[in-house]
Amino acid sequence: MHGVPLAPLAMPPSATGGIARLAAARVCEAGLDLGPLLHKAGLTAFQIQDRQVRLAVAAQISFLNLAAAALPDDLLGFHLAQEFELREVGLLYFVLASSATLGEAMARAERYSTITNEGIRLCCQEGGDFRIRFSYVGVPRHTDRHQIEFWATALVRICRTLTNTDLRPIRVSLAHPHCGASGQLEAFFGCEVTFASDHDEVTFARRTPQLRLVGAEPYLNELLIQYCEEALAQRPNPASPIRASVENAIAPLLPHGRARAGEVARALGMSERTLARRLAAENLTFFGIQEDMRQDLARHYLADANLSISRIAWLLGFQEVSAFTHAFKRWTGQTPTQMRSRITAQPSSA
């Protein structure tokens, strides 16, 4: 075929896969069969064994969910982040550790974190309290609990290690709902953790960026920055499918009953007509995406006995429990209570 050559297809966001490998090791230590979990997540044993192989971020999130259910461990990501060797992060860790101040280190994290995980972007905001916000790119946020809890926990551990202090955030916000064990996070962070928030964010006191780092090495830091810039330049631009962008815009609006096409289009910086056109090009509709999200989230929330049916209805944007019950029965042929009883009755398995 002649003519202008086609541009190479953008790849979905990938990660170094360190979290998935830690989770795989935990599964094996528990004496569970790793193979079926990897297969269901779209991963292979070779990908887990070879640390040079990058993993699709969506597959990593799926595997963490499956591993957490199999162990079972509702705080798998948090527990993994508490125990792993921080230097396993690799180049990113060392460029942070050799920086002069914590503010400088976090600026490096903001620029270079995608070398480690292309599906999460960090944004540091000063002027008042020092806020570090996590944003999901190219993957849906609503399917994740364990990866983001790992990142937030690892971030605070790194800050404490680099400053050699018991540094505590003044608040932590996470977009997913709490679970029965979520109090462990508050004990670790030393502050209140707000769940079902509009965003994922760790906030420190305003003077935190000025803290000096115990391992500052200006010459080494300059060299490592060069390596990071080269690594960043070599990374292809990952695909950012419109569906994932719409899902991530819908998620914080759902509980407030504001997940409408016009609101989502504005959040994405486009007109409602443009959004509809872009969705249609991928054989999608706004209503279809929203319904799929609600079904997916409903099943996930029902598995958490600490969430009441009325709370789940609110999280999904239903003003009345009866409206949620009617919708859920239309999706599944069962009421939410019937589905919860069925889930509870199922034995845990690998």
Q: Report yes or no on 335 lying in a domain.
A: yes
- Kindly state whether residues 124 and 248 are assigned to the same domain: no
pLDDT at residue 144 is higher than 90? yes
- Kindly state whether residues 89 and 142 are assigned to the same domain: yes
Answer yes or no: are the C-beta atoms of 275 and 261 closer than 8 Å.
Answer: yes
Q: Report yes or no on 171 lying in a domain.
A: yes
- Kindly state whether residues 93 and 164 are assigned to the same domain: yes
* pTM for the model: 0.86
Average pLDDT for 141-155? 97
Question: Token match 């979905």: residue?
Answer: 12
Q: Report yes or no on 126 lying in a domain.
A: yes
Query: How many angstroms separate the CA atoms of 26 and 71, rounded?
Result: 8
Question: Percentage of residues in the chain with pLDDT exceeding 90?
Answer: 79
3-class secondary structure for the chain?
CCCCCCCCCCCCCEECCHHHHHHHHHHHHCCCCHHHHHHHHCCCHHHHHCCCCCEEHHHHHHHHHHHHHHCCCCCHHHHHHHHCCHHHHCHHHHHHHCCCEHHHHHHHHHHHHHHHECCEEEEEECCCCEEEEEEECCCCHHHCCHHHHHHHHHHHHHHHHHHCCCCCCCEEECCCCCCCCCHHHHHHHCCCEECCCCCEEEEECCCHHHCECCCCCHHHHHHHHHHHHHHHHHCCCCCCCHHHHHHHHHCCCHHHCCCCHHHHHHHCCCCHHHHHHHHHHCCCCHHHHHHHHHHHHHHHHHCCCCCCHHHHHHHCCCCCHHHHHHHHHHHHCCCHHHHHHHHHHCCCCC
pLDDT at residue 6 is higher than 90? no
- Kindly state whether residues 110 and 209 are assigned to the same domain: yes
- Kindly state whether residues 149 and 91 are assigned to the same domain: yes
Question: Token match 């998935």: residue?
Answer: 20
The amino acid present at 46, given as its one-letter code, is F
Q: How confident is the model at residue 238 (pLDDT cuts 50, 70, 90)?
A: low
Q: How confident is the model at residue 241 (pLDDT cuts 50, 70, 90)?
A: confident
Tokens of 230: 């080269």
Q: Which of 147, 91, 138, 94 is nearest to 116 (CA)?
A: 91
Q: Report yes or no on 16 lying in a domain.
A: no
Average pLDDT for 67-85? 97
Exposure b/e, 65-75, CB count within 10 A at least 16 = b: bbbbbbbebbb
Whole-number pLDDT of residue 12: 86
- Kindly state whether residues 157 and 276 are assigned to the same domain: no
Q: Report yes or no on 7 lying in a domain.
A: no
pLDDT at residue 5 is higher than 70? no
pLDDT at residue 193 is higher than 50? yes
Q: Report yes or no on 167 lying in a domain.
A: yes
Tokens of 247: 């899902």
Q: How confident is the model at residue 4 (pLDDT cuts 50, 70, 90)?
A: very low
Q: Which of 68, 57, 60, 82 is nearest to 32 (CA)?
A: 68
pLDDT in tens, 30-75: 999 999 999 999 999 999 999 999 999 999 999 999 999 999 999 9
Q: Which residues pair with 55 in a beta bridge?
A: 15
- Kindly state whether residues 222 and 292 are assigned to the same domain: no
- Kindly state whether residues 143 and 186 are assigned to the same domain: yes
- Kindly state whether residues 106 and 220 are assigned to the same domain: yes
Query: How many angstroms separate the CA atoms of 252 and 176, rounded?
Result: 10
* Count of domains observed in the chain: 2
pLDDT at residue 87 is higher than 60? yes
- Kindly state whether residues 216 and 92 are assigned to the same domain: yes
- Kindly state whether residues 313 and 273 are assigned to the same domain: yes
156 lies in which domain range?
A: 75-226
Instruction: Please count the CA atoms within 13 angstroms of the CA of 273 that sit on its side-chain side.
Output: 0
Whole-number pLDDT of residue 257: 85
Query: How many angstroms separate the CA atoms of 168 and 190, rounded?
Result: 6
Average pLDDT for 193-212? 96
pLDDT in tens, 262-294: 999 998 999 999 999 999 988 899 999 999 999
Please return the burial class of 197, using the count of CB atoms within 10 Å of its CB with bins 0-12, 13-18 and 19+.
Answer: middle
User: What is the CATH classification number for the domain harbouring 286?
Assistant: 1.10.10.60
- Kindly state whether residues 271 and 217 are assigned to the same domain: no
Q: Report yes or no on 66 lying in a domain.
A: no
Q: Report yes or no on 289 lying in a domain.
A: yes
